[in-house]
Structure formats: C-alpha cells, structure tokens
Amino acid sequence: MYYEETDLCVRASRAGWKLYYVPESIVWHRVGQASGIGSPLADYYTTRNRLLFGLRWAPPRTKLALFRQSLQHLVSGRPWQRKGVVDFYLGRFGRGSYVN
C-alpha cells in the first residue's frame, strides 16, 4: 500500500522494459477511499513505504532529506508516523505493526 506502483515502474525501467504513457486512457481513482485521507492507516503506510522507496531509489541528497524527515517524524510526528519510521528501520515490512 502506497508507492508499490512507482516501485514497479522503476524496477521495470531498470530491467530494460519500456514504459508507455497513453494520454487517451482514463483512470478513475477515488483518493483516500481505501485508507481515508489523514487516517492512521495512511499515516503508517505512507511514512514507512516512502522511506522504503526513497532510500532504495532516490539520489543521495534526497536520501539525506528523507533520513532527516524520518528523525523529525520520530520526535514530533503523529503516532502512526512514528511507528512507520520505527518499523522501517527495524525492517518490519508486509503488514508491519499496523493492526486495525
């Protein structure tokens, strides 16, 4: 949940696959319907998976910014943001610690 489609595109591109944009296509996306915008579920997975994606693929300067932001989340983030950071650094992936 969160960043999986971007990760797939980066991995496919690096593996030599061609990615295409089809401007005529139409995709209906109901933002926040699965998790709720600003919900604990969104806080947890967005925070953890952003670190996972960014620290894997981003350039060094961006990785440093993500690391700094993760420290900021530990100090003053919302509860599930803090838990997402902790789980990232402990390598807890999949469902991680989030239990609804």
Total structural domains within the chain: 1
Average pLDDT of the residues of the chain? 91
- DSSP code string of 37-98: TT-HHHHHHHHHHHHHHHHHHS-HHHHHHHHHHHHHHHHHS-HHHHHHHHHHHHT--TTTT-
- Residue at 96 is within a domain: no
**pLDDT digit string, tens, across residues 38-65:** 788 889 999 999 999 999 999 999 999 9
Domain membership of residue 97 (yes or no) is no
Tell whether 100 is covered by a domain.
no
Q: Say if residue 91's pLDDT is above 80.
A: yes
The answer to whether residue 23 is domain-embedded is: yes
Distances (CA, A) of 35 to 2, 41, 44: 10, 6, 10
Question: What pTM did the predictor assign?
Answer: 0.84
User: What is the extent of the structural domain holding 83?
Assistant: 4-90
pLDDT score recorded for residue 1: 80
